[in-house]
Amino acid sequence: MSSSKTRNHPPAGDAVSFFDRISGTYRDKYSGQSPFHRYYFNERLDKAINGLDLDGKDVLDIGSGAGNLYDALIRRFPQVNFHATDVSTGMLAQSRVPRDHQFCGHAYDHDFPVRSFDAIFMLGVTTYLDRTELERNLSFVAHSLKAGGVAIITFTNKHSLDYLLRAFFRIPVRFLGSGDNVLSSGIRTHAYSYKEVRQLLSPFLRIRQIDVHNHTIFPLNLLLPRPSLFIAERLAQVPGSPSWLRFLSSDLLVHLNHG
């Protein structure tokens, strides 16, 4: 499925195998029948690109998955020069990103057709990276971001009620589940507190803003999706990121630049 530019083979690992396995249906989560997944993914996309003007700009999506960020950007910015990387060949196979702009493997292993980018996204990626791999990617982002450019990176919020409940239910869900979702797959994941995110990112880039997103709480978001979404949408209207709202928000979305 790869273009001649997609030379690297994806690294081995449980996460790669997992995402290869679910790649055929992953795109449907953005627009499919699950109200929770539709809300979660599209709220993240909206918050990630809100206020940006990327028409004619060079953009890199690290961990692009099935290309849903590309789909959102190309509608708003038809002249965007978009590049996608992912370690999963299955995910890239589902993407509408032009094949000569798909790169399989780690972003730092590739020679891209442009040397630096106006915007770099890492959405839903840090959860699956150990500390060494995460810092290697952050170093790449810092060196590959143009002056005046912006990086958008998300983190699982370690101090959220959603994360605490998922951790509590992980063993029974893994025992009873099918393995087709992260919680039941056995994949090792990584989460960070608000303070840890600041400490982790400060050596690489300047933090402009930290947003919160997804105010639903497991398992209510699956058992009672519509009431959960009603409450989540009201909480999303709260200005800023007060500490009590961070407790009710599963993810942190960080905007960065060189300062």
- Which CATH number does the domain housing residue 206 bear? 3.40.50.150
Query: Could you tell me if residue 4 is inside a domain?
Result: no
Containing structural domain, residue 214 = 14-257
Instruction: Identify the top-confidence range among 5-9, 155-159, 170-174, 184-188.
Output: 155-159
**Backbone phi, psi, residue 161, to 5°:** -60, -40
Query: Could you tell me if residue 49 is inside a domain?
Result: yes
Q: The tokens of 118 are what?
A: 């106006």
Which pLDDT score is estimated for 13?
47
What is the number of domains present in the chain? 1
- Separation CA 62–CA 106 (nearest Å): 8
Decide if 57 contacts 119 (C-beta within 8 A).
yes
Query: Could you tell me if residue 185 is inside a domain?
Result: yes
By CB neighbour count within 10 A (0-12 exposed, 13-18 middle, 19+ buried), where does 228 fall? buried
- Separation CA 128–CA 124 (nearest Å): 8
Q: The tokens of 108 are what?
A: 């730092």
What average pLDDT does the segment 41-53 reach? Answer: 94
Q: Is 148 helix (H, G, I), strand (E, B) or coil?
A: strand
Query: Could you tell me if residue 1 is inside a domain?
Result: no
Which pLDDT score is estimated for 180?
54
**Through-space distance between the first and last CA atoms of the chain, rounded to whole angstroms:** 39
Q: Side chain identity at 58, as an amino acid letter?
A: D
Query: Could you tell me if residue 7 is inside a domain?
Result: no
Query: Could you tell me if residue 234 is inside a domain?
Result: yes
- Separation CA 109–CA 101 (nearest Å): 15
Query: Could you tell me if residue 8 is inside a domain?
Result: no
What is the maximal distance between C-alpha atoms in the chain?
Answer: 49
Q: 177-183: long-range contacts (C-beta < 8 A, 24 or more apart)? A: 180/21, 180/22, 182/18, 182/127, 183/218
Which pLDDT score is estimated for 128?
92
Quick: pLDDT tens for 132-179. Answer: 999 999 999 999 999 999 999 999 999 999 999 988 887 665 555 555
Query: Could you tell me if residue 178 is inside a domain?
Result: yes
What average pLDDT does the segment 194-210 reach? Answer: 97
Decide if 258 contacts 147 (C-beta within 8 A).
yes
Quick: pLDDT tens for 55-84. Answer: 999 999 999 999 999 999 999 999 999 999
What average pLDDT does the segment 96-125 reach? Answer: 96
Which pLDDT score is estimated for 10?
40
Which pLDDT score is estimated for 5?
45
Full-prediction pTM beyond 0.75?
yes
